[in-house]
Amino acid sequence: MPRENLNDILVFIAVAREKSFTRAAAKLGVSQSALSHTIRDLEARLGLRLLTRTTRSVSTTEAGEELFQAVAPRVEEIDASIAALSDFRDKPAGIIRITAADHPVETVIWPKLRKLLPAYPDIKVEVTVDYGLSNIVEDRYDIGVRFGDQVAKDMIAVRISPDIPMAIVGSPGYFANRDLPKTPEDLLRHECITLRMTTTKALYAWELKKGKRETQVRATGQVTVNTQPQMVQAALDGFGLAFVPEDAVVQHMRNGHLQSVLRDWCPVWPGYRAYYPSRRQTSRAFSLVIDALKHQS
């Protein structure tokens, strides 16, 4: 393949992945007009339209999607192989990109990374807080973090935390003139601090469990947020009940700022897993980060 075709295909992959000429141009460090010119030349040489452009978005055509799915994974493998060459240096080096929600970042990932990184100054980490359950291959993350039952079966998964007990909590001020909920149905008569899911844009339904009995509660209330720390703060401020990991509020419960209810209905969720594609060729820097994150039971 002529070198210019390969370079142009790399440009196409960047635009297809970002779904935006503007974002792809910024990532590649070139002008948007130069990027558009490159794509037009590639489409002319192939005799195929690869991208559909509107004023607001860019998407792949059927031919473009087939090209992207065929070529992008191979480019990822090449990038991983090049990154692995850092193992031949005296010190492990490279950028490790991680995507996770804020709770595992605060309670698991950062506490472990801050012990690892001082010993390896050439390893750089980029941590992105995201509730959207990103596709780590398409979005070019090295590691994703999810609950154990949320990891796709074609991924390698490594446990990085114990199981996570959940809690429903409210402030004493909120409960001052209200009866405590005794059943999940009682929650429908309470103000609940709801979580807006990034991916679906829907409100998260509280998943409760008592023994073998399971139920989902479509909680509603005055306040809707999109991160767990916001939920905790709204509960502390008396705006209603929050359904959050217990370790995020245990200190507030100990000092009396929050009160736990429906404890027998609060489930224990599978612990967090760090996951990555099974075909990945790992670098020494990547292996060090994964080993540091592993849960020591």
pLDDT, one tens digit per residue, over 16-48 is 888 888 888 888 888 888 888 888 888 888 888
Residues 45-69: what's their mean pLDDT? 86
Per-residue model confidence (pLDDT) at position 53:
83
Q: Between the CA atoms of 162, 168, 172 and 174, what dihedral angle is there, to the nearest 10 degrees?
A: 150
Report percent pLDDT > 70 for the chain: 93
The rounded distance, in Å, linking the Cα atoms of 276 and 182 is 42
State the pLDDT at residue 89.
61
Q: Please determine, for residue 109, whether its predicted confidence score (pLDDT) is greater than 60.
A: yes
CA 179 to chain centre: 37
Q: Comparing 3-70 with 164-269, is the CATH topology the same?
A: no
Share of the chain above pLDDT 90, in %: 53
CA angle 120, 97, 72 (to 5 degrees): 130
Helix (H, G, I), strand (E, B) or coil at 147: strand
**Is the Cβ–Cβ distance between 168 and 215 less than 8 Å?**
no
- Dihedral angle of Cα 63, 74, 134, 214, to the nearest 10 degrees: 100
Q: With beta carbons less than 8 A apart as the criterion, state whether 41 and 53 touch.
A: no
pLDDT per residue as tens digits for the range 187-244: 999 999 999 877 667 889 999 999 999 999 999 999 999 899 999 999 999 999 999 9
Q: Which CATH architecture has domain 3-70?
A: Orthogonal Bundle (1.10)
Rounded to whole angstroms, the Cα distance separating 21 from 83 reads: 27
pLDDT of residue 192: 97
Number of helices (H) and strands (E) in the chain: give both, helices first.
10, 15
Confidence of residue 9 (pLDDT cuts 50, 70, 90): confident
The DSSP code for 282 is -
The rounded distance, in Å, linking the Cα atoms of 98 and 229 is 20
pLDDT higher than 90, residue 5:
no
The vertex-175 CA angle with 238 and 177, nearest 5°, equals: 110
pLDDT (average), residues 86-113: 87
CB 130 within 8 A of CB 227: no
The pLDDT value recorded for residue 148 is 77
Report whether pLDDT(280) > 70: no
> Residue 72 carries which side chain, given as an amino acid letter?
A
Spatial CB neighbours of 221, under 8 Å, sequence gap ≥ 6: 190, 191, 192, 193, 194, 239, 240, 241
Q: What is the mean pLDDT of residues 132-151?
A: 81
Q: Indicate whether 133 pLDDT > 90.
A: no
Domain ranges for the chain, please list them: 3-70, 89-163+271-293, 164-269
- What is the overall mean pLDDT for the chain? 88
CATH fold group of domain 164-269:
D-Maltodextrin-Binding Protein; domain 2 (3.40.190)
The hierarchical CATH code for the domain 89-163+271-293 is: 3.40.190.10
Residue 100: its H or E element: strand 94-100
Could you tell me the pTM of the whole model?
Answer: 0.69
**Phi/psi at 34 (nearest 5 deg)?**
-65, -40
